[in-house]
Amino acid sequence: MYDQLFSRALEELRESGQYRTFTNINRIAGRYPTARTDHSSNKEVVVWCSNDYLGMSSHPDVMAAMTTAVTEYGVGSGGSRNISGNCELHRKLEAAIADWHGKEAALTFPTGYGSNDATLQCLLRFLPDVVVFSDEMNHASIINGIRATSAEKHVFRHNDVDHLRSLLAQYPLERPKLVVFESIYSMDGDVAPIAEISGVAKEHNALTFLDEVHAVGMYGPRGAGIAAKLGISDRIDIIQATLAKGIGVIGGYIAASSLLVDTVRSFAPGFIFTTAQVPGVVAASLASVEHLKHCNVERRALQEKTATLRAALDAAGVPIMPESTTHVLPVHVGDSTLCRRAAAHLLEHYGVYLQPINYPSVARGTERFRVNATPNHTDEQIEHLATALKETFTKFGLPLRVQVSA
């Protein structure tokens, strides 16, 4: 009976074109974004969809920090932070993150998904009679953290400040409220109106929770994200982000007031009962954060390469979705089966790795490739990608953007 249930569900997924498979991407240290799909083969591919936005996973200082920590502490942490997994490196990393965001304190988690899920569950269970307001495009980790509680919840239309205002206005000022949104939305590459959302939230006495996972490292004078770029980090109560994207390692964190951070540390089961980040990961994350706080080289190069990539795709007629204003360039396909077939063709014939983005990551009918350059991509690789996408779209009958003659 159970096997039949599993088989039926998986078959329905295959028939809908939404079944997911893994592709081996064996990254080559020091040569990112180059990788091999098979260790036994010399065939190399170029990765165009990694979250390692700045290439920090291969930065010499970051790798050296991890190697040194492994030699000094070993590879494991030994337990949860409360039992035997805490070390001086954790304190240093959290202090560096708090300083980065101009907050009193920070708390790190093994993953970015976990930092969202655990923090939201904790706060929504801790705050009496709380109401939560969540942007409709928020990440699955946010949605899961909210759904796991019995808190009253509302979903406001994406980036719609007026809709949020109308929902908040239904409740008295004294009732606890939490507004949860992201700075950069990774599927469309658009940016939230952070100042407006935080302003409306404060008018209605609501806490603000801002997910900056696709912004930290890449934006702001020290790479602390979009809120920092706008100079309004102080208007955000809780900043959540990851150590796995711009930072290039693994983990997540929140930064907020000392009192709020201590509350999450003391009451969140998702923090209390999980094994601590291993010392090598913490040391590498610390090295990456400190580098990005003091160096603009990677950020500047990312913006330059993004501009070059955007221009090359535009010249080739490859349809970048119009919402994108950031380093994330979503290319619309609109069909799950063709998205998978096109991805396989790009990998086999052009050595281009792009992962098809299908439901449930995006709505059915909006399937896409999520393309991003890094400081390590060359201009030649960018031109090769533009040509490969144009020819692949033509082969599979996918619409290119109509070229308008002068």
Structural tokens at position 1: 């009976």
Give dist(CA 54, CA 292) in Å, integer: 10
Pairing of strands 207-211, 177-182: parallel
**Catalytic residue (choose from 103, 177, 229, 245):** 245
The string of pLDDT tens digits covering residues 119-167 is 999 999 999 999 999 999 999 999 999 999 999 999 999 999 999 999 9
CATH topology of domain 17-47+296-396: Aspartate Aminotransferase, domain 1 (3.90.1150)
- Global pTM value: 0.94
Mean pLDDT for 28-52 is 90
Residue 17 has pLDDT above 80, yes or no: no
pLDDT at residue 404 is higher than 80? no
Asked if pLDDT for residue 197 goes beyond 80, the answer is yes
Q: How far is CA 128 from the centre of its chain?
A: 30
The yes-or-no verdict on residue 359 having pLDDT over 90 is no
Mean pLDDT score, 360-374 = 91
pLDDT reported for residue 401: 78
Give the pLDDT of residue 405: 41
Q: Where are the domains of the chain?
A: 17-47+296-396, 59-294
The percent of residues above 70 in pLDDT, for the chain, comes to: 99
Q: What is the pLDDT of residue 61?
A: 97
Q: Is 80 helix (H, G, I), strand (E, B) or coil?
A: strand
Q: Which helix (H) or strand (E) holds 308?
A: helix 297-316
What is the per-residue pLDDT for 371? 97
Above 50 in pLDDT, residue 41?
A: yes
Mean confidence (pLDDT) of the chain:
95
272 and 130 Cβ atoms separated by less than 8 Å: no
What are the structure tokens assigned to 97, written together? 């993150």
Q: In Å, how far from its chain's centre is CA 58?
A: 19
Span 275-308, pLDDT tens digits: 999 999 999 999 999 999 999 999 999 999 999 9
Question: Residue 364: its pLDDT value, please?
Answer: 87
* Distance of alpha carbon 145 from alpha carbon 132, whole angstroms: 11
Sorting pLDDT into bands at 50, 70 and 90, what band is 402? low
Q: Would you give the DSSP letter of residue 376?
A: T
Question: Cα separation of 228 and 355, whole Å?
Answer: 31
Distances (CA, A) of 345 to 67, 189, 357, 383, 389: 38, 25, 15, 18, 10
Query: Residues 327, 302: contact at Cβ < 8 Å?
Result: yes
Structure-token match 């990851």, residue found: 242
Domain 59-294 belongs in CATH node 3.40.640.10: yes
Distance CA 258, CA 14 (A): 48
Q: Give the Å distances, CA to CA, from 79 to 82, 95, 101, 290.
A: 8, 21, 28, 26
Q: Is 103 tagged catalytic?
A: no
pLDDT tens digit string along 370-396?
999 999 999 999 999 999 999 999 999
